[in-house]
Amino acid sequence: MTLPHPRPISGASYSAVELSPGDRDVVMLDQRALPGDERYARFTRSDEVAEAIERLVVRGAPAIGIAAAYALVLAASGEGSGAESFQASMSAAAERLRRTRPTAVNLAWAIDRMMAVVREVASLASGDRVARLAAEARTIHREDVEACRKLGAIGAARVPDGATILTHCNAGALATGGYGTALGVVRAAREAGKQVRVVACETRPVLQGARLTAWELVRDCFEVTLITDSMVAQRMRRGSVDLVVVGADRIARSGDVANKIGTYGVACLAQVHGVPFYVAAPWSTVDLGCLDGDAIPIEHRGEGEVLSFGGVRVAPEGARVDNPAFDVTPARLINAIFTERGEASPPSEQTLAKLA
């Protein structure tokens, strides 16, 4: 596989999402095909990117925010009209993107940031509008990588040499602009000269841990042990997990954290076994307008994700399904939240306000 981009902002040898150099198409590593097949998909229209976000071609809170920002560049390319109709059609594209996945606040955050630029450039010539929006989208992408590196270094200070770190879902380079949030902590710990091992939960139903986290870590020569989600308790009881680090899709003002379904269970088990539980996320994941975890919208996904495994149906006709994609971990179960602005420890309205 060769990366179809000469200088990916991600800085890695693979990239979740990039805008092509001519600003004409968005290129994504199709995460549905990993780990078996490393193939890139190209999109030339904003609505195609929206559909790709819904179908998990790209996923992970920061990465879908970046994808939406790039999608708005494509939307602007198709518009040669006057200021008013430009703004109207950009708003329609933004609303379509906003509806794709409700929990990850980075999506709405990136769209709002791009729409502020849309208002500024509405009266410019078409080519200038596109150039200005492309520059903003790339800045969002670049800043995310920088944020991941900073919060990774802050989190790495809490990682003892020789530690075994458990993570759930994928909060790595594939879920962000590059480098990763939870896996950013893992990468930064190694860069600081520490030996680290990772235990990755497979993360039912979509298997981000097995398919994506393990893929990233094996590729970067980390020692990674894959477990099914039901093995966490036994692992912790045996004392073979030193700390947990996960990502986040939205952090409420109270410090409650929405993340991939199963995270709350891991946090409960960590508390019972006295294992430190950390969350790593860029500030764009913090939603101070959201009072607490109960106010976070939780996405429910299709029943096929639960009824089937690897494309094979595993449940009888007639079985009902509940498939919330995320759960909420209350702040009281979290030792610290690492952001590029510093850490909220323990997370609370007060400690987050100090970073705001």
Which residue in this structure is represented by tokens 């009266």? 123
Residue pair 25/40 in contact (Cβ under 8 Å)? The answer is: no
Take residue 2 and report the two structure tokens written for it: 């060769």
Q: Which of 283, 325, 289 is nearest to 103 (CA)?
A: 325
Is residue 249 annotated as part of the catalytic site, yes or no?
yes
The distance of closest approach from Cβ of residue 133 to ligand MRU in the complex, given in angstroms and rounded to an integer, is 24
175 counts as binding ligand MRU under rule CB under 6 A: yes
181 counts as binding ligand MRU under rule CB under 6 A: yes
Q: Quick one: which of 8, 102, 247, 347 contacts ligand MRU (CB under 6 A)?
A: 247
- Applying CB under 6 A, the span of 53-61, 83-91, 268-276, 312-320 interacting with ligand MRU comes to 53-61
- Which sign does the torsion angle of CA 68, 13, 260, 163 carry? negative
Q: Quick one: which of 16, 26, 41, 61 contacts ligand MRU (CB under 6 A)?
A: 61
**Torsion angles phi and psi, residue 213, rounded to 5:** -60, -50
CA dist 331 → 18, 174, 255 (Å): 34, 26, 5
Residue nearest ligand MRU (C-beta atom): 247
248 counts as binding ligand MRU under rule CB under 6 A: yes
Q: Which of 58, 47, 42, 35 is nearest to 3 (CA)?
A: 42
What distance in Å separates the CA atoms of residue 152 and residue 242, rounded to the nearest whole number?
17
> Considering beta carbons, is residue 97 or 325 the nearer one to ligand MRU?
325
208 counts as binding ligand MRU under rule CB under 6 A: yes
From the candidates 23, 25, 144, 249, give the one annotated as an active-site residue. 249
What distance in Å separates the CA atoms of residue 299 and residue 49, rounded to the nearest whole number?
19
Q: Quick one: which of 8, 62, 255, 262 contacts ligand MRU (CB under 6 A)?
A: 62
Residue span 92-131 as binding mask against ligand MRU, x where in contact by CB under 6 A, dash where not: ------------x---------------------------
| Residues of this chain that bind ligand MRU (CB under 6 A) | 59-62, 104, 169, 171, 175-176, 181, 208, 247-249, 259-260, 325
Known catalytic residues? Answer: 249
